[in-house]
Structure 1
Amino acid sequence: MFGYLLLAILVLSTAAFYVGRAAGRRFVAAGGPNPHSLPGYHGLFVAIWVGVPALVLVLLWVGFQGAVIDALLVASLPPPLTGGASPAQLQLLLSEIKNVAGGLIFKEPSAEIRAAADTWLRWSEIARWAMAVVALAAMTLGLFIGRSRLAPRFRARHSVERFTSAVMILCSVIAVLVTVGIIASLVFESLEFFRFVPLHEFLFGLRWEPQIAIRPDQVAGSGAFGAVPVFLGTLLIALIAMVVAVPIGIFTAVYLVEYAGERVRSIVKPALEMLAGVPTVVYGFFAVLTVAPAIREAGGLLGLATSPNSALAAGLVMGIMIIPFISSLADDAIRAVPRALCDGSLAMGATRAETMTRVVLPAALPGIAGGILLALSRAIGETMIVVMAAGLIASLTVNPLDSVTTVTVQIVTLLIGDTAFDSPKTLAAFALGLVLFLVTLGLNVWALSIVRRYREQYD
């Protein structure tokens, strides 16, 4: 029902747009006072009145419908089922009722549960149809109000622009609040973690073994939360990836801008950008099935001890994955350099290579630095390739042929499974996330300072 309602809102809003635009065109053809706004703004004004209130109403209805029906259902249950039950027990009871309503019956339910399931189905159906009726009524009322306000001198453009500004402000506020919420959750949960594990042990400890007993009857280690091996593995894989991606990406951009013909460029650039759309799990399979065996065979021929999962395999494949980020942004940055700088350098007798290395690349450095920063952030945040090609073991090593792990892989590993959120093992994931956030923020600030310095020099 929700999907059909969204489709109905879209269709009726489109129809309302054409109704409003037709009215605006009639104002123009009437030959009276010059209309204040173009016919398109009249159409958008009516479409907003039809679509936006109905969309907000449907979203609020969907958000609160489940809670309201659950509360009414609990109130209608017989006292023997709910008497003295805790909130957790009530939730289990509601889950059982919904499972029975959905046909997921693991044992024969009681008559009261089956009756409650029938009641839940009936009320849910009534609520869905009521939502549809109310939404259609709201759209009809919005069409009447919006159309009745149209007039030749009506300031439809101002109303549409105010609505657009309000939407953009709302989106900005939501983005800021989401960011603040993420930071607050990271900080709060990290402080809880540091109540169990000292900060210096986490930042400078050399052993990472977060497996601890979470139940009294469980056999497990006492846990070690020294994150240096995790940080070192992240830096090692990211460094290998950047060593592969940065020169290839920049040289590719230089070739496509200065040396390649239009026919070659029309083939090579789309082919490179297709790499950015390949799912990371495909890169992971490529690393496991092709790159890692090749590295093991090469290591065996050279007499080197090579792990089945290695940082080198993950870094090489990750470098291939992020080449399009650097190449595309470097291409755009080089093309944005004023042609007068190139012509002046060539007029002074410089070669094309000297012009590129001494004039164009320094002038395009802000854009290139942005591409490199984006690629670095992508490399640091990658998970699937590392899981499949580098492993899960946190090893204190800088040998690229050994198995290592990264911060993102450990965050995923720590949050998987039936683990309480008040244990050091789970809270360690938030501490890792906070450190990763601070490192990324520092890289951004550093990159912005570099960009600002060169921008002042070449503006």
Structure 2
Amino acid sequence: MTASTPAPPTAGASAPLRRRRPRYGEAVIKGMLLVAALVSVATTIGIIVSLLPPTLRFFERVGVWDFLSGTTWSALFEPPSYGVLPLLGATLLITAVAIVVAVPLGLAAAIYLSEYAHPRTRKIFKPVLEVLAGIPTVVYGFFALAALTPLLQSHWPFGDGPEVFNALSAGLVMGVMIIPTVASLSEDAMAAVPHSLRQGAYALGSTKRIVAIRVVLPAALSGIVAAVVLAISRAVGETMIVAIASGNRANLSWNPLEGMQTMTGYIAQAGEGDLPTASFDYTTIFAVGLLLFLLTFVMNALSIRLVRKYREVYE
């Protein structure tokens, strides 16, 4: 009995796997991405660490409830008062005016660019629209104070017009500033919707308007929600427009025709260098800054939950 010899490899059989060469380029890219992620996390931690010690010193003298529920803010005057509601109310009011302007116009621009515009027109209009995001905010603030406010005062149809410094002009100009954020991100979300959904709707006899509003818009809802929340965060953190156009008077009012001061406006005013860094008044900057940070963090967390809730996955 003879020993059997191994059969020769048949045609079409796969060749034995060879050890691949190490891909150093991929390792370098992985390392760079990891460093970028760690830098962003470390920056956030650094912001929290820098805000906490002065904020804790502030709350040693001012109660948390008094800070959050007080209706008078006069931290830099005598007698001092540290109720943050006027600053918080002005921030929310101006942000609301900005969102009322930015969301309808931004969504309309996104629907046009995604569903109606010719590809050549889209290539021209989208960069032009995004140029608005590159204009310095101090220019927006000066435009609101020097051009928009006099225009509103001269053409106001009901009673007394806006004051020289007012929340309305600041909110309107801020809304124009964040239109590119809503429009660009929403258009990207709509462009990611598969064309098969559009073709199926057209096959059922739907018009372009019906397809845009009832098919594409719901399918891209998660991206649109993220765009809107990002725009809100951008408006809440805006400084120069409100510092120039809305004034520096802490005023607890829901009348946008009056002047008022936002949280970022106070931080800009108090941080100009007139306050000694070791004084108690200087710690008010960090208390307001921590509240602003927490407000933005809550909005971003809410955005993540909404995006996950309304996300549509297509294969």
TM-score, normalised with respect to structure 1 = 0.61
Could you tell me how far apart the structure 1 residues matched to 2:36 and 2:231 are? 26
Could you tell me how far apart the structure 2 residues matched to 1:413 and 1:432 are? 12
Q: What's the counterpart of residue 322 of structure 1?
A: 178
Tell whether the 8 Å contact from 2:219 to 2:312 is kept in structure 1 after alignment: no
Alignment match of 2:289 (pick from 433, 436, 440): 433
Could you tell me how far apart the structure 2 residues matched to 1:458 and 1:405 are? 46
| Structure 1 residue 384 corresponds to structure 2 residue 249 | no
| Structure 1 residue 246 corresponds to structure 2 residue 103 | yes
Q: Compared with structure 1, are the counterparts of its residues 281 and 262 closer, same or farther at alpha carbon in structure 2 (3 Å cutoff)?
A: same
Q: Which moves more between the two structures, 440-449 or 413-422?
A: 413-422
Deviation of the 1:251 alpha carbon:
0.6
Could you tell me how far apart the structure 1 residues matched to 2:24 and 2:188 are? 37
Tell whether the 8 Å contact from 1:414 to 1:429 is kept in structure 2 after alignment: yes
Deviation of the 1:368 alpha carbon:
1.1
Map Cα deviations across residues 320-351 of structure 1 (whole Å, 9 max, x no partner): 11111111111111111011111112222322
Map Cα deviations across residues 239-284 of structure 1 (whole Å, 9 max, x no partner): 0001000000001111122222234333322221111111111111
Aligned positions of 1:46-445 closer than 5 A: 158-212=23-77, 221-299=78-156, 301-445=157-301
TM-score, normalised with respect to structure 2 = 0.88
Could you tell me how far apart the structure 2 residues matched to 1:178 and 1:267 are? 36
Deviation of the 1:198 alpha carbon:
0.9
Deviation of the 1:376 alpha carbon:
1.1
SS of corresponding position for 1:417? coil
Q: What's the counterpart of residue 101 of structure 1?
A: none
Percent identical among aligned pairs is: 44
Tell whether the 8 Å contact from 2:149 to 2:162 is kept in structure 1 after alignment: no
Deviation of the 1:458 alpha carbon:
6.7
SS of corresponding position for 2:311? helix
Q: Compared with structure 1, are the counterparts of its residues 333 and 164 closer, same or farther at alpha carbon in structure 2 (3 Å cutoff)?
A: closer
Deviation of the 1:237 alpha carbon:
0.6
Map Cα deviations across residues 351-383 of structure 1 (whole Å, 9 max, x no partner): 222222221111101111121122111111111
Deviation of the 1:421 alpha carbon:
3.1
Deviation of the 1:205 alpha carbon:
0.3
Q: What's the counterpart of residue 112 of structure 1?
A: none
Where does structure 2 lack aligned partners over 5 or more consecutive residues? 1-18
Could you tell me how far apart the structure 1 residues matched to 2:171 and 2:293 are? 21
Q: Supply the AA of the counterpart residue of 1:424.
A: F
Could you tell me how far apart the structure 2 residues matched to 1:186 and 1:199 are? 15
Tell whether the 8 Å contact from 2:194 to 2:314 is kept in structure 1 after alignment: no
Tell whether the 8 Å contact from 1:202 to 1:226 is kept in structure 2 after alignment: yes
RMSD: 2.1
Q: Compared with structure 1, are the counterparts of its residues 167 and 347 closer, same or farther at alpha carbon in structure 2 (3 Å cutoff)?
A: closer
Map Cα deviations across residues 188-207 of structure 1 (whole Å, 9 max, x no partner): 22111101111111100000
Q: What's the counterpart of residue 13 of structure 2?
A: none
Deviation of the 1:427 alpha carbon:
0.9
Could you tell me how far apart the structure 2 residues matched to 1:285 and 1:441 are? 29
| Structure 1 residue 448 corresponds to structure 2 residue 304 | yes
Deviation of the 1:180 alpha carbon:
1.0
Higher relative contact order (CA 8 A, sep 6+): 2
Tell whether the 8 Å contact from 1:196 to 1:424 is kept in structure 2 after alignment: no
Could you tell me how far apart the structure 2 residues matched to 1:158 and 1:458 are? 32
Q: What's the counterpart of residue 32 of structure 1?
A: none
Q: Compared with structure 1, are the counterparts of its residues 226 and 321 closer, same or farther at alpha carbon in structure 2 (3 Å cutoff)?
A: same
Could you tell me how far apart the structure 2 residues matched to 1:362 and 1:200 are? 41
Where does structure 1 lack aligned partners over 5 or more consecutive residues? 1-35, 38-154, 213-220
Could you tell me how far apart the structure 1 residues matched to 2:272 and 2:223 are? 38
Deviation of the 1:452 alpha carbon:
0.9
Could you tell me how far apart the structure 1 residues matched to 2:257 and 2:89 are? 14
Could you tell me how far apart the structure 1 residues matched to 2:204 and 2:254 are? 47
Could you tell me how far apart the structure 1 residues matched to 2:43 and 2:159 are? 52
Could you tell me how far apart the structure 2 residues matched to 1:162 and 1:260 are? 42
**Hey, which of these two has a bigger chunk of helix by percent?**
1
Tell whether the 8 Å contact from 2:141 to 2:241 is kept in structure 1 after alignment: yes
Tell whether the 8 Å contact from 1:186 to 1:431 is kept in structure 2 after alignment: yes
Deviation of the 1:166 alpha carbon:
3.6
Tell whether the 8 Å contact from 2:247 to 2:259 is kept in structure 1 after alignment: yes
Q: Paired residues, what number?
A: 297
Map Cα deviations across residues 196-245 of structure 1 (whole Å, 9 max, x no partner): 11111110000010115xxxxxxxx1311101000000001100001000
SS of corresponding position for 1:307? coil
Q: Compared with structure 1, are the counterparts of its residues 163 and 457 closer, same or farther at alpha carbon in structure 2 (3 Å cutoff)?
A: closer
SS of corresponding position for 1:209? coil
